[in-house]
Amino acid sequence: MSLHWSLWIMFLVVLNLGITLFLFLWGTRVSIPTREDGTTGHVWAHGTLREGVRQLPRWWYLMSAGTFIVGIGYLVLYPGFGAYDGLLDWSSRGQLERAEERNQALLAPLLEKARNGAPSDLAADAEAVRLGGRLFQDNCAACHGRDARGNTTIGAPDLLDDAWVYGGDEKAILASIRTGREGVMPGWEFLGYGRVKNLAHYVSSLSGAPHRPTAAEVGKKRFDACAGCHGPDGSGNPAIGAPDLSDDAWLYGGELDQIMTSISQGRHGQMPAWKGRLDEAEIRLVAAWMLANGK
């Protein structure tokens, strides 16, 4: 804190405390004019109610005086009077750092275990799963949801089902968290509305979703252009992140109009890399939580 702001805060503290103390002392000694009956002459309800003057009880004086003592004592012991640190040298930052140090000391054995541990082994450790869940909520839930069931609005996949865009083995999961993923599907709007719709019916038929068989049969002839990425049977290609179109898991929704949008407009999904924010132990704990709670 600069000298200017320190002096300004000290001035405000002294001013407010001084005014309050003056009013307290003056209020106990001021003489209020009263009539013979002890009232001030102020009346309400046509004289039914009259304003009286009485001394405040002693306990009120003592309690009020005590607040001044506590306030001054606080300024002596704790920071608050400009740049003065207080006799106890306490600060919220210092308290936080000490709490973090105690927390890290408690977590150190588990983090050391997780640093080189396999996520599948950590998934059997209740404490590791609990910590992994907390890390997931803090870092991943914004996109994938608190329950990890995904968000079709932004193309964040469900992480607890058995459908994996880039593969569901431990190595693939860790790679997804560490370095992130970026999937791009080109738009096919040039095919025209009718052909896109027929193709969407065929894609729906691959997973057994409601569709028009005649339209799907026509759309099947156009699927050759998609097979290069999604495979001839639409089962996908984890190597390039082409999703399986024959299951019931959909990144951007499986309704016919949503599928048509995916085909005509294309999709561009990106998951950021977390290796700069989470260390290796934390990444493995998140993966362990996913494995422990998934199918």
pLDDT tens digits, one per residue of 19-78: 999 999 988 888 888 888 888 888 888 888 988 888 888 999 999 999 999 999 999 999
Q: Is the dihedral of CA 240, 242, 247, 253 positive or negative?
A: positive
140-164: average pLDDT: 95
Percent of the chain with pLDDT over 90: 85
Is residue 230 exposed (0-12), middle (13-18) or buried (19+ Cβ within 10 Å)? Answer: buried
**Confidence check: pLDDT of 295 > 80:** no
Check residue 1 and give its pLDDT.
79
CATH number among 3.40.50.1370, 3.40.50.300, 1.10.760.10, 1.10.10.10, domain 104-293: 1.10.760.10
SS3 241: coil
CA distances from 158 to 74, 94, 243 (A): 53, 40, 13
- The DSSP H or E segment spanning 42 is strand 39-44
Among 139, 138, 144, residue whose Cα is nearest residue 269: 144
| Burial call 237-249: b when 16+ CB within 10 Å, e when fewer | ebeebbbbbbbeb
| Terminal-to-terminal C-alpha distance of the chain | 55
Domain boundaries, the chain: 3-77, 104-293
Contact call for residues 180 and 273 (beta carbons, < 8 A): yes
Would you state the torsion angle of the CA atoms of residues 136, 140, 145, 149, taken in this order, to the nearest 10 degrees?
-80
Take residue 231 and report the two structure tokens written for it.
């495979």
Query: pTM for this structure?
Result: 0.73
pLDDT of residue 11: 95
Structure tokens at 77: 């012991």
